[in-house]
Structure 1
């Protein structure tokens, strides 16, 4: 596996890769989902949501109680693709430079050399991201939004593709920090796994009590294929009526919440809808794709003032009351 080399933004010349056929992309996603399902039991919807986020050029926040498989889900997705993977364990003493990297003076050459941080990978797992203070969390802001990192005035491109899958501790509020709203807005999706039912937990125990299946998980595809799959998704058509529908949903949240969703959220919604359409074998987005993705793409970006309402309820009302024309 070749390590990514940090480079200046001037070094990258953008060129559109070849795309996959829709049938090939469907098969690819089925292979990844089946591979991850060897480790993650009973969360097929969540697996599919992570896959569509990766294909839609987005990042994922997994928010739940400890021990339900958040980290295993992220690791399984990364292991299913032959790509570079780094894990960042967020702790209260973690510094921004521990994430992005730092310039170190080389006494032999009498020059500063850049030591890349763990963010320079195709898939980055930010484990318990809310255990680090906001200053350290914000080290990911530029990386997640622009796929680049600026250290000491020099900007370096991150590997392509670049995906952050972060987990968040949903308990122990006195030992965690709230994520900055600007960072939450950079996550395409926020997912919760929840507890497995009795049959699923029994099946999980049968797989994991001895040797954990994550230890023997092998890649089912490579980095080049994922790049081509993302290009396929980017070419899925989103016609004006669907774009207008997404806009009406966004405007509803702004009119019925203290803080509604941003234009970045609407872009993320349509990119996720493109990926879902591709998984269904279509080269165009329909309103059903938007409706399927809206709850996990929009809800976490909304702030309400009343205790009887939250982002999920605002999105649910938006879907009920916004017409599809």
Structure 2
């Protein structure tokens, strides 16, 4: 009979594609993961993984067992949710993934308030892009994902995932205060030819949104030379006169010397929302959504609304 603990580890390895990534997700060491794999292979009597460059690849038997391991993980997550719902207790692990700007501006005050009100709650946070975090939500490794969705490039949400809108805000064009565009009170997007841009790393949702936005405005010479995930660093590059950036209002610090912020025409907006899986509607998750909504409301105009299915 296979061990559930080893199946849980194998599920992480199969889903993430390497021992190292599984170890990081499970907060254990790489040798511990490798030991679980070897013992599981002895239990089932066949090889489950084989080396593939720096990672690993599942054998045919491994792919078959991975499907069962994933179902077991889903069942365990549902059992946790059912028990929490019965007790109504806001306690235990709360595993949250978040985009960096929301993590910096909304998460600290939310989690501080929640842990003050519910001392038995144990939040865990990791940052990343929605495209990387949502698969972990579906697999049951995260309970909630704080993500962004741009009007011109909506986030792709897997079927069945619920989204809870928190706040909608405008993005602003950031240029050096002596830039030729700095005198404008509003900038037409179709006039932004020939600029050098700072944006989040290539492949990220925000990077893709910037390129898509400008191409829709017939701006084809999009030169993203500074790939930096942190908006504050992007603004420092703008203040140095090196680049322009498109920055959500929430990410703008109170003082930004050397930077001129200009509204765009048409307006560019993003929505911050919390994504949850149907099976993760525990009291802890519900308290987290409510706390995030309060934090977002305190930062400016919000757009609370019912949960939407992807």
TM exceeding 0.5: no
TM-score (norm 1): 0.23
Q: Name the structure with the higher strand share.
A: 2
Q: Which has the larger radius of gyration?
A: 2
- TM normalised by structure 2 equals 0.24
